[in-house]
Chain A
Amino acid sequence: MQKIYKTITESAGPLLVVDGVEGIKYDELVEIETQDGKIKRGKVLEASKNQAVIQVFEDVRGMNLKDSKVKFLGKTMKFGVSLDLLGRIFDGAGKPKDSGPEVVAEKYLDVAGLPLNPQAREYPDDFIQTGISTIDGLNTLVRGQKLPIFSGAGLPHSKLAAQIARQAKVAGGEEFSIVFGAMGITFEEAEFFISEFKKTKAISKSVMFMNLANDPVVERITLPRIALTVAEYLAFEKGQHVLVILTDMTNYCEALREVSASRKEVPGRRGYPGYLYTDLSTIYERAGKIKGQKGSITQIPILTMPDDDITHPIPDLSGYITEGQILLSREIHNKAIYPPVDVLPSLSRLKDKGIGEGKTREDHAGVLNQLFAFYARGKEIRELALVLGESALTETDKKYLQFADDFERRFVAQGYEENRSIEDTLNLGWELINILPREEIKRLKPEHIEKYGKNKTN
């Protein structure tokens, strides 16, 4: 029998302390009925012999401690899944946010998820064509990868994410279902995504979870977990290829810090809890493929780096878990280049097995390395030219300078509606490589220079 307690003795931030409890379990789900009959949910963070510390998922504003009741449900937090979730919009607690009806669940799944056994994983190596040169050509995304966008306040990361969601497809032409999780973003941003998805009809194959900036902060902690539970259901039970977009992970971490601070935990760097790495990994690691199964989960989390600082704990710890990062740069954005991808510090760790013959094209690896090397050198020379003046440069150095400018203007920059095929991206790469004299080209095989060197974009 479920017991109901009216013994809440303390409320601090999103935490409640309930006394005199019996037979409770760690992590179990709790229902709180406030004095005016509203139901809020939470979970047990600390289970002691006769005291429980509860983290409430929703806003506790207006709650009276004396007359509110707490009920322990004896189970961990579960979310009802079914294919009817597609095309719907929910809030951070998993309740419908559009005007549609409640979804009838096919089954209930634990939102915490379980760790995927590395032995059962399949190594991701299916090339995803996003139609964006800086990603496809240089930082190739593969199916089952987690590749975040590291951005800054005011940079067009939402636009980039929406473009990827719209254009992403694999060689076979298979499309992606989209699970979208928004944490603490503004109304405008949320509307942008909803209208984008509606415009492209993507909405019918997406499930959206929306927690806006003025929605309860604590819901941001459960939201990505519910979203990923849905993604796992679609991928591993229904065989779909799922693209998960989570924005903005910085708001998620802030929420985590808030809960940690109200528990008076010993803080790690910059006040974030010491377990931030572990906690983030339980989100990011829920991407991947399983041997013998058709579906996959590809994650594109977005985070804004406070003060554009990549060493801030949030991007730093994320970078240690995710398989690379696409870094947006304010400097390139200010040159009116979209997407403002800062190519050199961007990285896709899984690209090596997703490119080359049979995946993209045999010269891909060479083109990629050559473009990186030329651009790195070009940027060095640009700095040098600032000190010495352009006239002091050698002929070759001037070519490098031209390369760096053309590379940014033609390769990096592309339209929001522009969907480049991988062949176009590689051919464009060759055009740029040809700016430099032949003897500077060191990272490409002679037979590839012979075969593709004269290629041009159509």
Chain B
Amino acid sequence: MKQGRIKKVTGPLVVAENISEVKMYEVVRVGNEKIIGEVIRIVGEDVYIQVYEDTAGVGPGEPVELTGESLSVELGPGLIANIYDGIQRPLKDLVEKSGAFIGRGIDCRALASEKKWHFKPKGKNGEEVSGGDILGEVQEKEFFVHRIMVPPTINGKVDFIAEEGDYTIDEIIAKIDGQEIKMAQKWPIREPRPIKKKMIPNTALITGQRVIDTFFPIAKGGTGSVPGPFGSGKTVVQHQFAKWSDADVIIFIGCGERGNEMTDLLNEFPEINDPKTGRPLMERTVLVANTSNMPVAAREASVYTGITIAEYFRDMGYSVALLADSTSRWAEALREISGRLEEMPGDEGYPAYLGSRTAAFYERAGYFKCLGKDDREGYLTVVGAVSPPGGDLSEPVTQNTLRVTKVFWALDSALAYKRHFPAINWLNSYSLYDSDIKEFLEEKGGKGFNDLRVKAMKILQKEAALEEIVRLVGVDSLSPKDQLLLKTAKSIREDFLHQNAFDEEDSYTSLEKQYLMIKEIIDNHENYAKNI
């Protein structure tokens, strides 16, 4: 039987019965309005469903229909510059269908079905292909080529390939062993897209943020976390990343955050130009926005929706950066659902599987050899913001994140109060990619880059120690050498580490310029020190 009945409704959780053929994580349609839900637990006859929309007005006895599919995203031309909710409904279409406020039970297709894309075939008739091989290309934006790939699960001989021309995403552009291939394909969000091989990252993702690139760099294909209390500038750091990092594609997930912040991105990204191409940033960006007041189950799904889209672009051989703001809200969504399932809670009410889910999410990042015979290489860099309650880093979400991410940018409210931005505390933060990308930085930044960093870091650490003494006995009682050190440290802090995100000039600094700046400061220091 493909249909069951609702037995119980409580918030975003619905329990259904009389559906024996149901599978775990299958998508179901709930109630008379057919709102979307996903099966998350099966106990005997009872099927527990998390529902992606508000359940007010849904009641026992209403039907529950199986769809036979898992929760999937649609992948193909038209993704770039789009903004989606947590289950990949385009927000623009939602406005058209239900107005400024998001109503319920609205179906929207993720990709535009009428739009024609200019397809250039790359594959040939009679060629043996397998998952990941490139069948053709679509020039999706002026500087963005969308590679149409054989879906990962398909292989065989090309019987037919369409000629160069304009096609919609639903038209058949190829046949492989009789199987029809269209430009759009689907992939379940909870399953990582397959790859050929994962490798150790060896290049840095340049963000133009001095404290990040010089002091705590992240590798292309690496993972980083930005924990910080509210008001410490987490979101600005994430936005700076999205604006300036030298990735080919940016996926920004606004997970349970403020509506106005997403609107800000929507206004700014079409206005700001990518320094590399001179085209609006929006033309390399996909936004996933599930704000805090949108349904909580869709918030849980939003990070997976985002990372699956990111993996799709990585498979084309691009460098993709995914920014999730904030993963704490995702964890809270997990906690809320877990609470309704009456599961045994772990720390602070979070489910016991919080750690494994967090780890599995970040493990989808990396530097990969992609599927396909041309051995393309793709990068997926993941940076997650964490919002620890009360700024307390010992709480479960931060701790689970720190275990799996290799860069830690510690935001500090004391720095933020002094309006030192980015408020990344240089004494607590770390990057474990130092040695992997050492050579890359020397080559791209300048000779001795790493030594300069180490020297600057030493000065800052010494400063922290000296400050204690100054507090007790005053500056004057320090040796001239220490006084010089304090001056240099101040210069590193105020001229180098402090960077104004809202100033056009200061917002981005190239790696070469960063090198010259820090070199100048350290050289000066050493010259003066010689004369003391």
Which residues on A are within 8 Å of B, measured CB to CB? 22-28, 45-49, 76, 112-124, 144-145, 236, 265-269, 273-275, 277-278, 281-282, 285-286, 288, 290-291, 293, 310-313, 316-317, 319-321, 323-325, 344-345, 347, 350, 352, 365, 369, 372-373, 376, 384, 387-388, 392, 394, 442
Q: What chain B residues lie within 8 Å of A118 (beta carbons)? A: 83, 91, 254, 259-260, 262-263, 266, 289, 291
Using a CB-CB cutoff of 8 Å, which residues 468-482 of chain B contact chain A? 471-475
Query: Chain B at the A interface: mostly helix, strand, loop or mixed?
Result: mixed
Across the two chains, which residue of chain A brings its CB closest to B56? A27
Instruction: Out of A22, A27, A120, A310, name the residue touching B57 (CB < 8 Å).
Output: A27
| Other 20 A-B pairs with CB < 8 A, given A76-B56, A123-B267, A274-B335 | A24-B60, A25-B57, A28-B59, A47-B8, A47-B10, A48-B9, A112-B56, A120-B95, A121-B100, A123-B264, A145-B260, A266-B349, A268-B335, A275-B332, A278-B293, A278-B333, A290-B100, A310-B390, A323-B260, A387-B472
Given A26-B56, A116-B259, A376-B418: A345 in contact with B266 (beta carbons within 8 A): no
Any A CB within 8 A of the CB of B417: yes
Any A CB within 8 A of the CB of B103: yes
Any A CB within 8 A of the CB of B493: no
User: Please, how many angstroms separate the alpha-carbon atoms of A384 and B468 in the complex?
Assistant: 11
A115 touches B293 (CB 8 A): yes
Interface centre among A274, A281, A324, A369 (most CB of B within 10 A): A274
Interface centre among B9, B61, B256 (most CB of A within 10 A): B9
User: Please, how many angstroms separate the alpha-carbon atoms of A49 and B61 in the complex?
Assistant: 7
User: Please, how many angstroms separate the alpha-carbon atoms of A206 and B480 in the complex?
Assistant: 65
- List of 5 A-B pairs having minimum Cβ-Cβ separation, nearest first: A311-B390, A281-B292, A25-B59, A27-B56, A26-B9
Q: Taking the nearest CB of chain A, how far is it from the CB of B473, in angstroms?
A: 8
Given A123-B267, A274-B349, A323-B258: A116 in contact with B101 (beta carbons within 8 A): yes
Bitwise, B381-412 to A at CB < 8 A (1) or not (0) is 00000010111100000000000000000000
Can you list 17 A-B contacts (CB < 8 A)?
A27-B56, A28-B59, A47-B8, A116-B101, A116-B259, A116-B293, A120-B95, A120-B100, A275-B339, A278-B256, A278-B296, A311-B229, A313-B390, A345-B231, A373-B419, A376-B418, A387-B472
Q: Taking the nearest CB of chain A, how far is it from the CB of B514, in angstroms?
A: 21
B94 touches A119 (CB 8 A): yes
Q: What chain B residues lie within 8 Å of A123 (beta carbons)? A: 260, 263-264, 267
Q: Taking the nearest CB of chain A, how far is it from the CB of B38, in angstroms?
A: 18
B56 touches A117 (CB 8 A): no
Q: What chain A residues lie within 8 Å of B262 (beta carbons)? A: 118, 121
Q: What chain B residues lie within 8 Å of A25 (beta carbons)? A: 9, 56-59
Q: Taking the nearest CB of chain A, how far is it from the CB of B525, in angstroms?
A: 20
Given A27-B55, A45-B10: A285 in contact with B292 (beta carbons within 8 A): yes
Given A117-B91, A376-B418: A269 in contact with B266 (beta carbons within 8 A): no
Any A CB within 8 A of the CB of B44: no
Given A269-B389, A323-B260: A392 in contact with B474 (beta carbons within 8 A): yes
Interface centre among B100, B102, B391, B417 (most CB of A within 10 A): B100
Q: What chain A residues lie within 8 Å of B103 (beta carbons)? A: 114
B260 touches A124 (CB 8 A): yes
Using a CB-CB cutoff of 8 Å, which residues 241-282 of chain B contact chain A? 254, 256, 258-260, 262-264, 266-267
Interface centre among B59, B254, B342, B387 (most CB of A within 10 A): B59
Bitwise, B328-354 to A at CB < 8 A (1) or not (0) is 010011011011001001001100000
Q: What chain B residues lie within 8 Å of A112 (beta carbons)? A: 54, 56
A324 touches B231 (CB 8 A): yes
User: Please, how many angstroms separate the alpha-carbon atoms of A236 and B345 in the complex?
Assistant: 42
Q: Taking the nearest CB of chain B, how far is it from the CB of A120, in angstroms?
A: 4
B263 touches A23 (CB 8 A): no
Using a CB-CB cutoff of 8 Å, which residues 49-71 of chain B contact chain A? 54-61
Q: Taking the nearest CB of chain B, how far is it from the CB of A388, in angstroms?
A: 6
Q: What chain B residues lie within 8 Å of A293 (beta carbons)? A: 100
B258 touches A345 (CB 8 A): no
Q: What chain B residues lie within 8 Å of A114 (beta carbons)? A: 101-103
B293 touches A285 (CB 8 A): yes
Q: What chain A residues lie within 8 Å of B231 (beta carbons)? A: 319, 324-325, 345, 347
Instruction: Out of A49, A120, A347, name the residue touching B7 (CB < 8 Å).
Output: A49
Q: Taking the nearest CB of chain B, how far is it from the CB of A273, in angstroms?
A: 8
Instruction: Out of B55, B92, B296, B349, name the residue touching A26 (CB < 8 Å).
Output: B55
Q: What chain B residues lie within 8 Å of A319 (beta carbons)? A: 229-231
Any A CB within 8 A of the CB of B294: yes
Q: Taking the nearest CB of chain B, how far is it from the CB of A260, in angstroms?
A: 10
Across the two chains, which residue of chain A brings its CB closest to B342? A266
Interface centre among B292, B335, B345 (most CB of A within 10 A): B292
A120 touches B472 (CB 8 A): no
Instruction: Out of A48, A288, A317, name the residue touching B260 (CB < 8 Å).
Output: A288
Q: What chain A residues lie within 8 Å of B392 (beta carbons)? A: 311
